[in-house]
Amino acid sequence: MTSITDLSELSEKELFQLEREIANQHVGKFPYLAVIWSLTNFVVWVSLFPLVMFGHVPVWLGFIIATVNVTLSYLPSHEAQHDIIARPGDRLRWLNELVGWIGSIPLLITYPVLKATHLEHHKHANDPELDPDYYLHAETPLKAVWSHIQSRQPRGSNTQADRYASTLSRIGREDLMVPQIGLTLAYFGFLFTMSWCGFALEAALLWWLPHQIAVSYILFFLGWAPHHPGGSTDRYRTTRSWQSNLGNLGSMGMQFHIVHHLHPRIPLYRTPQAYWEMKPILEARGCDVDEL
């Protein structure tokens, strides 16, 4: 690697070439862990409800496992959203789409909606009008969490549903709302039926509350923390590297989120290595990488 002093003297084109050479060393690596993680997590999640209903697993333990399941469901789907498992036309494309779907269902958002809105987030990160995730912006961590909770209330404003619906309408994909509405109705229908049959506590602790906790956790670590303060739409300043008190695993691998935004086809498990190799270049570009 060229020295940092030398890097500061390079042109934008030369810096990009160095950055691209590093990124290319990590793109195209098959994310075995994400695939195994996704399939295993989904099987456990689906099995949990009957195991609790038939008394094989206590409700309190089921609640903990379900919360972990839903929290862990998003990241493999996120890999699929960027075609990291397999690109269109590849032999394993079906696996990419399968992982995308089974990772999105526990979050009550269909995979096509997640993918369409997430790609728009990448195109328009931090744009108040065009970024579907802009509603996550807040001044402090506590305000961020509180805002997330408020937005999910029946009378909440500036909600994820509002932003995603307007985004789908803007890009001409209103058709994706139909299966999304179907999934939402099926979920609430299930909760109502289980409550009517005398299993309200089980439904709340295995389905409703784990979803609320997991979504807050995901939105904080994937949405708010790596994009804060979110004042720039410049490609190299829309996100940052940051030091999490929970470490990289506890923050769902998002400490190095800047690498993902710059090179979204690098698998999650390779972003830390790519970051350290790329950091001198990012510093030369004036990126927010001071915390790590």
Residue at 243: amino acid letter? Q
Token match 């690109």: residue?
87
Predicted TM-score of the model (pTM): 0.91
Token pair recorded at residue 139: 């001044």
pLDDT band at 156 (very low <50, low <70, confident <90, very high): low
Mean confidence (pLDDT) of the chain: 91
* Res 1 pLDDT > 60: no
DSSP structure string for the chain: ---HHHHTTS-HHHHHHHHHHHHHTTTT---HHHHHHHHHHHHHHHHHHHHHHTTSS-HHHHHHHHHHHHHHHHHHHHHHHTT-S--TTSTTHHHHHHHHHHHHGGGTS-HHHHHHHHHHHHHTTT-TTT-TTGGG--SSHHHHHHHHHHHTSTT-SS-HHHHHHHHHHHTT-GGGHHHHHHHHHHHHHHHHHHHHTT-HHHHIIIIIHHHHHHHHHHIIIIIITTTTT----STTTSS-----TTHHHHTTTGGGHHHHHHSTTS-GGGHHHHHHHHHHHHHHTT-S----
Kindly tell me if the per-residue pLDDT of 290 is higher than 90. no
Could you report the per-residue pLDDT of 171-184, keeping only the tens digit for each? Answer: 999 999 999 999 99
pLDDT confidence tier of residue 138, bands split at 50, 70 and 90:
confident
237-244 long-range CB contacts below 8 Å, 24 or more apart?
Answer: 237/286, 237/287, 237/288, 238/125, 238/126, 239/125, 239/288, 240/287, 240/288, 240/289, 240/291, 241/275, 241/279, 241/287, 241/288, 241/289, 241/291, 241/292, 242/291, 242/292, 243/291, 243/292
Question: For residue range 189-244, what is the model confidence (pLDDT) as tens digits?
Answer: 999 999 999 999 999 999 999 999 999 999 999 989 999 988 889 989 999 999 99
Greater model confidence, 99 or 158: 99
pLDDT level of residue 3 (50, 70, 90 thresholds): very low
Q: Which two tokens stand for residue 78?
A: 């996120």
The stretch 60-70 carries a mean pLDDT of: 97
Of 157 and 59, more confident: 59
Residue 81 pLDDT exceeds 90: yes
